[in-house]
Structure 1
Amino acid sequence: MEALSPSARRVQDLLDAAGLGHRVVEHAGSTRTSEDAAAAVGCAVAQIAKSLIFRAKESGRPVLVIASGANRVDEKAVGRLIGEKIERADPDFVRESTGYAIGGVSPIGHAVPPLVLIDADLMALDSLWAAAGTPNAVFRLTPADLVALTGGRVEAIRKG
């Protein structure tokens, strides 16, 4: 087995510490988009748990929304759920608050602990795939594992 890149290794170390047996897999091609990731691992786009970082407007806190790859996020609903409006985070904010680059943001191991909301649609699936620190690394987990690992609140955040 090839050595993992530093960001993917950081995620693997966190997964090892959780003791649930998850394995980070790095692919030769990109898993940056939900479609790319689904094609790389052979699953439905809906099974990709994409980690989206927003910035809470008043407090400046990072907000992690983990959404199904098939869904768009209702940003107004997220704002209502956390009690303040949110805005899209720029790449510098994403890197500083998570420690990851856009396209590789893992749902775990953030530099600044975020507020976490999880798309309720993910809970109906048997297994999920999430980014593991780089734009070509992912790991498989269950919806229950996702909640346990992130401490996130499951909410209806799908647009439409």
Structure 2
Amino acid sequence: MSLQSVKAFFAENAPDIDVIETQTSSATVALAAEAHGVEPAQIAKTICMRVGERVVLVVARGDARIDNRKCRDAFGAKPRMLDVEQVAELTGHPVGGVCPFGLATPLKIYCDVSLRAYDEVVPAAGATNAAVRIGVERMATLVSAEWCDICQDAVAKTDAEAAE
């Protein structure tokens, strides 16, 4: 049902965007990057979390980590990750396929500024083997997202790490 809700979302709101289904799993950032031929940072991961009394979705670049202090400053509370069942119930999407499109429950959506490092990103599309390629600004507009800055600053890799 989840993949269908995402396809219906795009059919209604952006019929020029195709949902890409792969034979292999793209349930993790590393698997998604490999399946779609992009670097892990270009995967737009969607995180479902509780901040205070509300549940929000945050879309961030694949290699970003939530900074608890920035999150608390932006949302007024420390973020708490939801469990697998809560995520599936609220979003309608399985973990590994969570995205801001075709949601089962209306949720406030935020896009972290870390995404702006790319013109195009690859978020999941409601299944562990589905995704879309979409412009960052277009994605934010389609899902009525607000921009936020709640991820840790990127750390430059050392020469040794870059060589690996």
TM-score, normalised relative to structure 2: 0.86
Give the partner amino acid of 1:70. Answer: D
Instruction: Specify which of 142, 147, 150 is matched with residue 157 of structure 1.
Output: 150
Instruction: Specify which of 12, 15, 29 is matched with residue 17 of structure 1.
Output: 12
Please state if 1:45 is matched with 2:33: no
Q: Distance in 2 between matches of 1:133 and 1:64?
A: 14
What is the number of equivalent residue pairs in this alignment?
Answer: 153
2:5–2:103 CA contact under 8 A, matched in 1: no
Please state if 1:104 is matched with 2:97: yes
Give the partner amino acid of 1:14. Answer: F
Quote the offset at 1:63 in angstroms: 1.2
Of structures 1 and 2, the larger Rg is shown by 2
TM-score, normalised relative to structure 1: 0.88
Map 1:72-151 onto structure 2 (within 5 A).
Answer: 72-151=65-144
Of all paired residues, the percent bearing the same amino acid is: 33
Quote the offset at 1:7 in angstroms: 2.1
- Say what the alpha-carbon RMSD is for the aligned residues: 1.5
* CA spacing shift, 1:115–1:16, aligned 2, 3 Å: same
Q: Deviations over 1:121-159 (max 9, x none)?
A: 211312110100011110110011111122112122222
Structure 2 residues not aligned, in runs of 5+: 154-164
Structure 1 residues not aligned, in runs of 5+: 1-5
Q: Deviations over 1:67-110 (max 9, x none)?
A: 10011111332232122332110112101110111111011222
Quote the offset at 1:20 in angstroms: 5.0
Q: Counterpart in 2 of 1:3?
A: none
